[in-house]
């Protein structure tokens, strides 16, 4: 899910590592806005987890100087969060295809189970 009014990038444009991530352009954060149960099933290593409904209350956990990649399951929630973050002064982009595309492209997953699954 995308919108012509929301900056978006495909999975292959997202930095591969987010452990105190330093992209070639400066600090980058991957913000996962899915619900707790979705997060436990599998998430990108190094991602920050703030469910969509909690983003306004937890905004101080984000860095205004970072490029923020916002991801959800398939793209709907991340669109809304990117709109909000950009309105309040962040530089945020939506990751098209979400965690489903992340997993399909073979990107690493972490989770609470033996074998993380997003599908």
pLDDT digits (tens, 9 = 90+) for 36-48: 999 998 999 989 9
Residues forming the active site: 72
Answer whether residue 88 is part of any domain. yes
E strand or H helix at 93, and its extent?
Answer: strand 91-95
Would 119 be classed as within a structural domain?
no
CATH code at position 93: 3.40.250.10
Output the pTM of the full model: 0.88
- Looking at the domain assignment, is residue 25 inside a domain? yes
In a domain, 3, yes or no: no
Q: Give the count of beta carbons closer than 10 Å to the beta carbon of residue 22.
A: 12
Residue 96 lies in a domain: yes
Angstrom CA distances, 3 to 50, 68, 76, 79, 99, stand at 22, 17, 10, 8, 18
Query: What is the DSSP secondary-structure string of 1-50?
Result: ---TTS-EE-GGGS-S--TT-EETTEEEEEEE-S-HHHHHH-B-TT-EE-
Range of the domain at 78: 8-104
> What's the mean pLDDT when you consider all of the chain?
87
Q: Each residue of 62-103: pLDDT tens digit?
A: 999 999 999 999 989 999 999 999 999 999 999 999 999 999
């Amino acid at each position: 899910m995308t919108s012509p009014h929301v900056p978006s990038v495909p999975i292959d444009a997202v930095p591969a590592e987010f452990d105190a991530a330093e992209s070639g352009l400066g600090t980058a954060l991957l913000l996962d806005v899915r619900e707790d149960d979705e997060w436990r099933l599998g998430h990108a290593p190094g991602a920050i987890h703030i469910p969509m409904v909690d983003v306004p209350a937890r905004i101080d956990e984000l860095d205004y100087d970072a490029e923020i990649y916002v991801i959800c399951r398939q793209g709907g929630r991340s669109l809304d969060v990117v709109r909000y973050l950009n309105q309040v002064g962040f530089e945020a982009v939506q990751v098209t295809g979400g965690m489903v595309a992340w997993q399909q492209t073979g990107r690493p997953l972490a989770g609470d189970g033996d074998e993380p699954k997003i599908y």
